[in-house]
Amino acid sequence: MEKVTQELMHSLVGEEVNVFSLQNEQQVGKLEIRKVEKGRIDTEEFSSFSISLIGDPKNQLPQDNYLFKHSAFGEYPMFMSIHDVDKYQIIISRKRNQEVG
Q: Write out pLDDT tens, residues 37-96.
A: 998 888 888 889 999 999 999 999 999 999 999 999 999 999 999 999 999 999 999 888
> Which of these, 62, 61, 65, lies nearest to 77 by C-alpha position?
65
Which band of pLDDT confidence, cut at 50, 70 and 90, is reported for residue 98? low
What gap in Å lies between CA 55 and CA 29, rounded to an integer?
8
Q: What is the pTM of this model?
A: 0.89
Query: What is the model's pLDDT at position 47?
Result: 87
Query: What is the model's pLDDT at position 2?
Result: 55
The torsion angles phi and psi of 55, rounded to 5 degrees, stand at -140, -170
Secondary structure (H, E, C), 9-27: HHHCCCCEEEEEECCCCCE
